[in-house]
Structure 1
Amino acid sequence: MRSPERYELIFADAAVPGAEDVVVVHRTDSSGPGGHPVYADDTGIVRAEISDRAEVRMIASGGQQVYAAAVSARPVA
């Protein structure tokens, strides 16, 4: 089974309960360190490896990036 073409990445803000940022990412031709597809936003700045169980591993695209600890993914239909 092929992974979804697009996901929404949901970044929760621990300092503000209920606050979240959502970024839509699309499947690339790359695979991450875990062997799962890499997804990226249109800018290429937000990159994540997403498993077939929607487990997210963020991939830094620059030297100073630090991502929130709470990131989840949901497929976009």
Structure 2
Amino acid sequence: MGRTDLVRAYELVFPGVTEGGQDVVRVTVTDRTGPGGHPVYEDATGIIQAEISNRSEVRVLATGAGQEPAHGVTARPLSG
């Protein structure tokens, strides 16, 4: 990708998915860009994919038929 300011990994926080809490999923950058032109990140399984802007704005992408992308997801950049 060539960008030195690119965050390599994020934690995606899904609010209220589990009773009384939230689910957190680690995603890493891919070589793809999303519909908004920002990098696409995915989890180790490839099931969770999200386009994340340089301002940590998240657009969760559908990866299967009938899947509805989650809303209200936030991204926390990870170092290293």
Same fold (TM over 0.5): yes
How many residue pairs get aligned? The number is 76
Match of 1:50 among 30, 49, 52: 52
Instruction: Calculate the aligned-residue CA RMSD, in Å.
Output: 1.7
Secondary structure, aligned partner of 2:50: strand
Over the matched positions of the two proteins, sequence identity in percent amounts to 50
Per the normalisation by structure 1, the TM-score is 0.88
- 1:11 corresponds to 2:14: yes
CA distance in structure 2 between the aligned counterparts of 1:23 and 1:31, rounded to whole angstroms: 20
Hey, what does 1:61 align to over in structure 2?
Answer: 63
Secondary structure, aligned partner of 2:51: strand
Hey, what does 1:39 align to over in structure 2?
Answer: 41
Secondary structure, aligned partner of 1:66: coil
Say whether the 8 Å CA contact 1:28–1:37 is kept in structure 2: yes
Per the normalisation by structure 2, the TM-score is 0.85
Runs of 4+ residues deviating >3 angstroms: 14-17
Change (3 A) 1:26 1:14: closer
Change (3 A) 1:14 1:21: closer
- Name structure 1 gaps, 5 residues minimum: none
Say whether the 8 Å CA contact 1:38–1:48 is kept in structure 2: yes
CA distance in structure 2 between the aligned counterparts of 1:27 and 1:74, rounded to whole angstroms: 13
Further displaced range: 5-14 or 48-57:
5-14
